[in-house]
Amino acid sequence: MENQRFEELLIGELAGELTAAERQELLELLTANEEFRGEHAVLKDFWAQKEPDYADMRHTLEKIKTEICRQERELELHPATPDAEPIPQIEPLRRIPRRWRTWSVAAALILVFSGYGLFYYEHSKDTAKDSLTWQEKYTPRNARSRMTLTDGSSVTLNSDSRLKYPVSFDGPAREVYLMGEAYFTIAKDAAHPFIIHTNKMTIRVLGTSFNVRCYPDDDVNETTLIQGSIEVTFPDRPADKIILKPTDKLVIRNDKLEQPTIRPAEQPATRVDSSSSQGARHTGYTLTGLTYYRNQPGTVVETSWMDNKLVFNAEELQSVARKMERWYGVSIVIDKEELKTLPFTGLFQNETIDEALYALQLSEKKIHYTKKDTIIHIY
């Protein structure tokens, strides 16, 4: 059942038809299953090079799947006999998993449709050799943690964040998977680029410091560059590419990709490096600058959590509530719909949850709340 669901999500991703919830489901499957990651990487790379028509992609892949099923049924009905003439094989001599053999059949069919079957086969051999041992670090709510990877890179995880990474880096690239928020300081290694995969973007760096926020329940995902340079691409639009310079911030909507997001009191940068002139509109990203907290000069909103500060600048109450949930380890329910979009600006550092709620109430007289244990209702 999981295999079938993965194939459905993979086809949907390549066709550009996944919803936000389905993209998150696919990311979780990829994070949990090494074999899925191999198949995903092979087909993503193949289609990125071919640059197919997105409207025809689902139809093409469905034809591939139909032909695979037909060939497998044929083999079951007419199994090979010892006297039968051997069928030429394109697989490696060693035994590989049945799923990989299935995609090898797909490679032959892709050759008919596109002429790139050889690329798929060679790449799949490299992917099959991936024997990295992965481990996971999770930081719960109301906590932050710091770790050093085997290459010397340091990662600080914000609350309710998860990083999946190999026990040791072995291969042409150093790759990790992030869900939540983290600050990275990457050890320089030009021969082995560092790659961070999230549900909305892929970040490629050589040596730099930057912040990534990609909580699945937030309205936006953000990448903020502090030092160095990074390249950001998008799983659903592989042709688009953005190069960030220091103090740049990339904002991506987490629900409907058609509409870009611009933070209050910010102006979008004019420099967007994309191979498609329509990329910004289609992909739903906006390039801006750092947000500075007005009441405390020098305080950068995007990285303030590294200094143990919870800062929000003209943010809607529903966004503030999500940040407070992670920061204080509580659950906040906003009972009145009209309160969710009220804007708030504030900075909490040593305040308790009760003091923070009281401050919100002082700044907006419409706000009332009740608190029982770790459950808070705002009405």
Most confidently predicted of 56-65, 69-78, 256-265, 359-368: 359-368
Res 19 pLDDT > 50: yes
- Tell me: do 97 and 195 sit in the same domain: no
- Tell me: do 167 and 206 sit in the same domain: yes
Give me the number of domains the chain comprises: 3
What is the DSSP annotation of 319-332? HHHHHHHHHHT-EE
Cα diameter, the chain: 87
Residue 319 counted as domain residue: yes
Residue 341 counted as domain residue: yes
CATH code, domain with 267: 2.60.120.1440
- Tell me: do 52 and 138 sit in the same domain: no
Res 118 pLDDT > 50: no
DSSP class of residue 266?
A: -
- Tell me: do 256 and 170 sit in the same domain: yes
- Tell me: do 268 and 201 sit in the same domain: yes
**Banded model confidence at residue 123, pLDDT cuts 50, 70, 90:** very low
Q: List the Cα angle 26/306/190 in 5-degree steps.
A: 65
Task: Please tell me the predicted confidence (pLDDT) of residue 294.
Answer: 76
Which residue in 183, 157, 187 sits closest to 169, CA to CA? Answer: 187
* Each residue's pLDDT tens digit, 135-177: 999 999 999 999 999 999 999 999 999 999 999 998 899 999 9
Res 77 pLDDT > 80: no
Query: How many C-beta neighbours within 10 Å does residue 157 have?
Result: 21
Strand partners of residue 135: 165
pLDDT (mean) for 18-31:
83
Domain housing 154? 134-289
Q: Which residue did the predictor score with more confidence, 17 or 24? A: 24
- Tell me: do 188 and 321 sit in the same domain: no
**End-to-end Cα distance, the chain:** 43
- Tell me: do 120 and 140 sit in the same domain: no
Please say which residue of 289, 322, 346 terminates a domain. Answer: 289
Task: Please tell me the predicted confidence (pLDDT) of residue 337.
Answer: 92
- Tell me: do 138 and 285 sit in the same domain: yes
pLDDT (mean) for 314-328:
94
Task: Return d(Cα 255, Cα 20) in angstroms, integer.
Answer: 6
Residue 176 counted as domain residue: yes
Which residue in 134, 189, 131 sits closest to 162, CA to CA? Answer: 134
Residue matched to tokens 């072995």: 170
Residue 346 counted as domain residue: yes
Res 187 pLDDT > 90: yes
Residue 298 counted as domain residue: no
- Tell me: do 117 and 13 sit in the same domain: yes
- Tell me: do 95 and 232 sit in the same domain: no
Task: Please tell me the predicted confidence (pLDDT) of residue 22.
Answer: 81
Task: Return d(Cα 351, Cα 214) in angstroms, integer.
Answer: 26
Residue 353 counted as domain residue: yes
- Tell me: do 189 and 170 sit in the same domain: yes
- Tell me: do 124 and 151 sit in the same domain: no
Residue 107 counted as domain residue: yes
pLDDT (mean) for 2-9:
76
Task: Return d(Cα 359, Cα 339) in angstroms, integer.
Answer: 16
Can you read off the two tokens belonging to residue 348? 């909490």
Query: How many C-beta neighbours within 10 Å does residue 256 have?
Result: 9
Residue 301 counted as domain residue: no
Task: Please tell me the predicted confidence (pLDDT) of residue 79.
Answer: 57
CATH code, domain with 339: 3.55.50.30
